[in-house]
């Protein structure tokens, strides 16, 4: 009964209540593997990664042939920067469940995230041999993304067959994206565009709000982030690094820029870290009793210091002498005022890209999130307008250290663009920045396939192959 209640609380994301129930049960039954697994999942969601590793290792000892704790333990090892241990766990899972396509899929994803493309390809192919399962849709999608196929040997028939075997909306949607990308690579742009439209329409059915619902929030961001609020910032440099935020629209090249900068001897990266919006904002809302951004009007120095400490705790995972730590979550552009108050020396890199190229990239990529601007071109156009309006507001404040960088110029002349950007932060260019594709560190964004290649201009004008239907779709109201 106690375990059932704890699992229900975890499913409702009531983490502290779930944690209490799991610990209560473990006091009576210290070797209860399911309770340990639940407690480990709580630790993961709370980003208590060292604790998660310890708890999930115990869970796996008591549930030696259950796969889900092994997958969770692998995630925990990756979170504490132990990818070798994560890989060993997934290889063990594959050894005890060799006929389960899920184990092969998770192992292949690990290889893919760390740039082992040949191993990823082979392992995805092994999963495909094991018959149809829900994960097959994602296996086929990743194989298509890897792009190692041609007109005579591809995955189109398997994708069509899978579509006849499932009624699951999300699985169908993933297959439609994969079919679209298949036809795109095979230069059948009519078929490709048709399937992209279907995939976007299917995903839009899963959206629970409209982009216009955000207009009031953006208006408030502009209203409450004013001179008097920004005057709360006091430079009190008691932390060893300078936070750097790459901001902008999705699919504007943030992963490429991040990996270039992370190749510098003085730079490190958090990846797409949501600590500002998920932790700092939540803390301030709780303490002030006001929603963000109105809560900024109630900031005090003690609150600011506590909020700063929350983000510094995230930065504390970095060891060594790096002077700059990147956070490349593009939507942090919504939080520039708050970030500046916490870190007056923070640097912001506003990465921009041709609107039509960005819209096309969003339209043709599968985002796990079901936000409407990821799956409807006109919704995206409105979202882009909100971004531009808010960025115009931030640009009025000279105190904000914002560097505007064009993705196209970065691609065409990476050395000069990086040299100027690094000079803005007080650093000198290092040639290792251009060797980013040789780095085997984890990349988990949609760019994880392309980032393993040197800088190239393949994607700059790709949208123009679809210019007529793309512009037509942008000019029409879209339906579900």
Residues 6+ apart with CB under 8 A from 340: 230, 233, 346, 399, 400
Sign (positive or negative) of CA dihedral 104, 106, 108, 111: negative
> Are 332 and 143 in contact, with CB atoms under 8 Å apart?
no
Three-state secondary structure call for residue 269: strand
Domain ranges in the chain with CATH number 1.25.40.10:
1-97
Cis peptide before 293 (omega within 30 of 0): yes
Asked if pLDDT for residue 108 goes beyond 50, the answer is: yes
SS (HEC) of 400-426: CEEEEEEHHHHHHCHHHHHHHHHHHHC
Render pLDDT for 388-441 as a digit per residue (tens, 0 to 9).
999 999 999 999 999 999 999 999 999 999 999 999 999 999 999 999 888 777
Place of tokens 């504007």: 252
User: Cα dihedral angle (288, 290, 294, 295), rounded to 10 degrees?
Assistant: 20
Question: What's the CATH number of domain 211-353+367-458, 3.30.70.100, 3.30.70.260, 3.40.50.300, 3.40.50.720?
Answer: 3.40.50.300
pTM of the model: 0.90
CA dist 205 and 214 (Å) reads 18
Render pLDDT for 428-465 as a digit per residue (tens, 0 to 9).
999 999 998 887 777 777 766 777 787 877 777 889 99
CA dist 184 and 178 (Å) reads 10
CA dist 308 and 70 (Å) reads 34
At residue 478 the predicted structure's pLDDT band, cuts being 50, 70 and 90, is: very low
- Cα→Cα distances 191→198, 284, 334, 374, 469, Å: 11, 49, 37, 21, 12
Domain spanning 1-97 has what CATH number?
1.25.40.10
Render pLDDT for 68-91 as a digit per residue (tens, 0 to 9).
999 999 999 998 889 999 999 999
Domain ranges in the chain with CATH number 3.40.50.300:
211-353+367-458
> Are 220 and 290 in contact, with CB atoms under 8 Å apart?
no
Asked if pLDDT for residue 480 goes beyond 50, the answer is: no
> Are 182 and 191 in contact, with CB atoms under 8 Å apart?
no
Three-state secondary structure call for residue 348: strand
């Amino acid at each position: 009964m106690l375990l059932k209640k704890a699992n229900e609380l975890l499913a409702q994301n009531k983490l502290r209540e779930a944690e209490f129930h799991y610990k209560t049960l473990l006091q009576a039954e210290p070797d209860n593997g399911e309770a340990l697994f639940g407690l480990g999942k709580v630790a993961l969601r709370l980003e208590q990664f060292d604790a998660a590793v310890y708890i999930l290792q115990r869970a796996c000892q008591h549930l030696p042939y259950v796969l889900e704790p092994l997958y969770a333990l692998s995630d925990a090892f990756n979170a504490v920067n132990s990818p070798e241990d994560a890989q060993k766990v997934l290889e063990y899972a594959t050894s005890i469940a060799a006929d389960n396509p899920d184990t092969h899929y998770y192992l292949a994803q690990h290889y893919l995230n760390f740039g082992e493309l040949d191993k990823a390809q082979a392992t995805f192919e092994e999963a495909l041999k094991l018959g149809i399962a829900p994960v097959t849709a994602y296996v086929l999608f990743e194989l298509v993304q890897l792009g190692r196929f041609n007109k005579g040997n591809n995955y189109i028939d398997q994708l069509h067959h899978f579509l006849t075997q499932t009624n699951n909306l999300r699985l169908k949607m993933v297959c439609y994206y994969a079919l679209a990308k298949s036809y795109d690579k095979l230069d059948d742009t009519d078929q490709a565009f048709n399937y992209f439209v279907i995939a976007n329409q299917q995903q839009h059915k899963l959206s629970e709000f409209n982009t216009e619902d955000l207009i009031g929030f953006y208006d408030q961001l502009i209203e409450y982030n004013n001179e008097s609020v920004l005057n709360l910032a006091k430079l009190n440099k008691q932390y060893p690094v300078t936070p750097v935020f790459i901001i902008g629209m999705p699919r504007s090249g943030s992963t490429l820029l991040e990996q270039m900068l992370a190749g510098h001897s003085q730079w490190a990266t958090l990846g797409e870290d949501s600590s500002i919006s998920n932790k700092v904002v939540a803390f301030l809302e709780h303490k002030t009793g006001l929603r963000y951004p109105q809560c900024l009007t109630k900031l005090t120095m003690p609150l600011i210091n506590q909020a700063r400490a929350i983000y510094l705790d995230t930065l504390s995972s970095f060891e060594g002498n790096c002077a700059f730590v990147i956070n490349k979550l593009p939507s942090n552009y919504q939080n520039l005022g708050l970030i500046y108050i916490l870190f007056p020396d923070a640097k912001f890199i506003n990465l921009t890209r041709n609107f039509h190229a960005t819209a096309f990239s969003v339209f043709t990529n599968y985002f796990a999130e079901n936000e409407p601007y990821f799956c409807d071109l006109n919704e995206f156009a409105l979202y882009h307008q909100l971004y531009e309006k808010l960025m115009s507001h931030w640009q009025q404040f000279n105190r904000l250290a914002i560097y505007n960088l064009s993705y196209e110029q970065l691609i065409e002349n990476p050395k000069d663009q990086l040299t100027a950007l690094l000079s803005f932060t007080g650093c000198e260019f290092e040639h290792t920045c251009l060797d980013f594709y040789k780095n085997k560190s984890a990349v988990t964004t949609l760019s994880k396939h392309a980032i393993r290649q040197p800088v190239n201009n393949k994607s700059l004008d790709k949208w123009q192959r679809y210019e007529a239907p793309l512009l037509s779709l942008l000019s029409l109201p879209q339906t579900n």
